[in-house]
Amino acid sequence: MKLISRIQTIALACLCTVCFWQAPQNQAASSWNRFRGPNGNGIAETSVKLSQLTLKDTVWKIDLPGEGHSSPILWEDTIFLTSMNKDTGAFHILAINAANGNILWTRDVDYETFKKHDFNSFASPSVTVDADRVYVLWATPGHFYAAALDHAGEWLWKEDLGPFKSQHGVGVSPMLYKNKLIVANDQMGASSLIALDKTSGSRVWKADRKSGKAAYSTPCIYTDASGRDQLICNSEAEGISALNPDTGSVLWSYGKAFDKRSCSSPIVAGGKIFGSCGSGGGGNFVVAIEPPSDTTSSEPKLAYELRRQANYVPTPIAVGDLAFFWSDTGFVSCVDPASGEVHYQNRVRSRYFGSPVAVGNEIACLSTTGELVVISASTDFKILNKVELDATTHTTPAFDQEGMYVRTISQLYKFKN
């Protein structure tokens, strides 16, 4: 089924949204090591009960130095995130004790502010982390940096990926694949996908791409029927394409997928690959691509489009055999990803730049005013809970086995029930 009307949104937030990984990455069960969790799919294994959560379940709340829209990332008992203090001109990388909220260390980078979109921040990319290192992105118009620190906050390497030209600032987050840190560098200037050796920062490969409107879509890994990993990338200029993550060579491309900016990240569900595009003036839509069964002899095909109440900034989520598309303007669409059948479209109100996450059969998403809305992950639309933080937030919650961590623009919360 196609959704056929236009959606109005003024969100051109250059926020960190994320993709759905099918391939296991051998991470510790206790880590939430990247945006939306260890597999990038937003599914949490935790004792937190979203439908029963209240403000009384706040374990601690701390003030952060500066502001930002990057989401908290965890490795075991440590939280990592970034913020930017416009008064001092410092970009902060922080490590925080997950048990008590104490700041363990802060590393500062001199930063030159520049013109960006009002909905964006200077600290929007979320970090990613493994057992040895914390990987960080930040950018100014003249420089796009990738860097790594160890868990004690010691600098290991820093690489300048070149200028970053955009109307709205930077927002894409890094991702790990095997021994590589992969950065999507789709911008108005010279665009590329870059793989760096995660130990040294040296370049493993670089895939040049067409330039257009800057994209804020973090790639994901799709594992095909033969067991081959494919790196899925979205941008307005390139559409939806798949690359060999080991070499950077293009496996296939559906170049006519989008006619607007791509902010949300791709997900894989029901045998389809999903991506979206949009603009502040509306016209947002989602495409569902049937990936080729044989990259040497067949081409990707358009399976269907979702054009009514489509998401632009928030990345969708797949729970069981259902996919949920949470729009910027507060509409949720529950869809059978295999067929495109729409089970419902209902409004939860508010505006959303963060992406939904799920615990069991419950899905939660944070509004821009700090309202955590919880719905049922079923074909029946049910609002199960609302928790009001009353603070600006463009981020996505993180989880460990016992807690949920929520970042507003200038504070960090831990909840436990």
Instruction: Please name the residue that has the structure tokens 């990240």.
Output: 265
Q: Is residue 400 part of a domain?
A: yes
Q: Is residue 19 part of a domain?
A: no
pLDDT at 171: 86
Asked if residue 12 has pLDDT above 60, the reply is no
pLDDT at 3: 39
pTM over 0.75: yes
In the DSSP assignment, the letter for residue 130 is -
61-119 confidence digits (pLDDT tens):
999 999 999 999 999 999 999 998 888 888 999 999 999 999 999 999 988 777 766 77
SS3 at position 56: helix
Residue 97: both structure tokens together: 């004790």
Lowest mean pLDDT among 23-32, 282-291, 303-312, 403-412: 23-32
Asked if residue 7 has pLDDT above 70, the reply is no
Q: Is residue 2 part of a domain?
A: no
pLDDT at 113: 74
Helix%, strand%, coil% for the chain, nearest 5: 0, 45, 55
Q: Is residue 367 part of a domain?
A: yes
Q: Is residue 204 part of a domain?
A: yes
Q: Give the domain CATH number at 259.
A: 2.130.10.10
pLDDT at 116: 67
Mean pLDDT, all residues of the chain:
90
Phi, psi of 51 (to 5 degrees): -70, -15
**Side chain identity at 44, as an amino acid letter?**
A
CA distance 363 to 266: 18
pLDDT at 170: 82
Q: Is residue 373 part of a domain?
A: yes
In the DSSP assignment, the letter for residue 215 is P
* pLDDT, average across residues 334-358: 96
295-331 confidence digits (pLDDT tens):
777 899 999 999 999 999 999 999 999 999 999 999 9
Residue 172 is part of which domain span? Answer: 43-415
Lowest mean pLDDT among 3-17, 187-201, 216-230, 367-381: 3-17
Q: Is residue 32 part of a domain?
A: no
Domain count, the chain: 1
324-342 confidence digits (pLDDT tens):
999 999 999 999 999 999 9
Q: Is residue 26 part of a domain?
A: no
